[in-house]
Amino acid sequence: MAHVPEEPKRYVCTNCQITHAGTPIHASASEHSFEPPESCGGCGESSFVALTDWVHHHD
């Protein structure tokens, strides 16, 4: 069976809207879950929304 790479979950900074790849967390030997970064690399804020929820997010 061919290996299919996982697509990382992406998060959007609610302050400056820069998109970040989630930090991989080992769920099992072959799967990961993803968490938002601790802070935005662009503005330093720590509030993120999953990219899939971005269109529904309102401040």
C-alpha 11/C-alpha 28 separation (Å) is 22
pLDDT value at position 24? Answer: 87
Domain boundaries, the chain: 10-56
pLDDT at 10: 96
- Per-residue pLDDT tens digits for 10-48: 999 999 999 999 998 877 767 788 999 999 999 999 999
Residue 21: strand pairing partners: 10
> What does the pLDDT read at residue 5?
74
pLDDT at 37: 94
pLDDT at position 45 is 96
> pTM of this prediction?
0.79
